[in-house]
Amino acid sequence: MDFSQPPGENYANPKTCFFHVLFKAAALAFYILSALFLDNFVIIFVVTVLLSALDFWVVKNVSGRILVGLRWWNEINDLGESVWRFECLDQESLARMNKKDSWLFWWTLYLSAVAWIVLGIFSLIRFEADYLLVVGVCLTLSIANIVGFTKCRKDAKKQIQQFASQTIASRFSSTIQSAFSVV
């Protein structure tokens, strides 16, 4: 993954990018500012976790599809086992994805988790177990999206490689068949 920002390219989906960043920033900002100005842990917990849950939902169900062409979910099968499911756009559509949108998606996905880790360290240092609980919930939601989209991206790359090798093999096979049918 290339972490340098693509030069000169505009965002193809500015509204989606805005909402992708909005709930992350809102959860972090509310947590930080409310810890400074409010003395009601219940309000801080409920609003921060709600904003973080909204971010989780938007990333998983909206911005992941639009900005990087990926979607994931996890379900329990009849045997009670956890099964990961992945969807991705076809190779041609993935190649047309906006690089700046993709860059923003991945950077904010990882940076928000790093921010929650830093806030968790501060909570540990100050011996605030209740605030550590808030950070733990928000970090868990962030990491769930990171794991889901990382697995989905790896699955998409594997599917593209399998498609490419099958296409090459079938073309090679048809070329050999046509060469021998001429003789």
- Interval 27-57: pLDDT, tens: 999 999 997 888 888 999 999 999 999 999 9
- Interval 65-87: pLDDT, tens: 888 888 888 888 888 888 878 77
118-151 burial code (b ≥16 CB/10 A, e <16): ebbeebeeeeeeebbebbebbbebbeebbebbbe
In the chain, domain spans: 14-178
Whole-angstrom CA distances from 108 to 3, 41, 74, 86 are 11, 27, 22, 21
- Interval 136-183: pLDDT, tens: 999 999 999 998 888 887 765 565 555 545 555 556 555 555 555 655
pTM, whole model, 2 decimals? 0.73
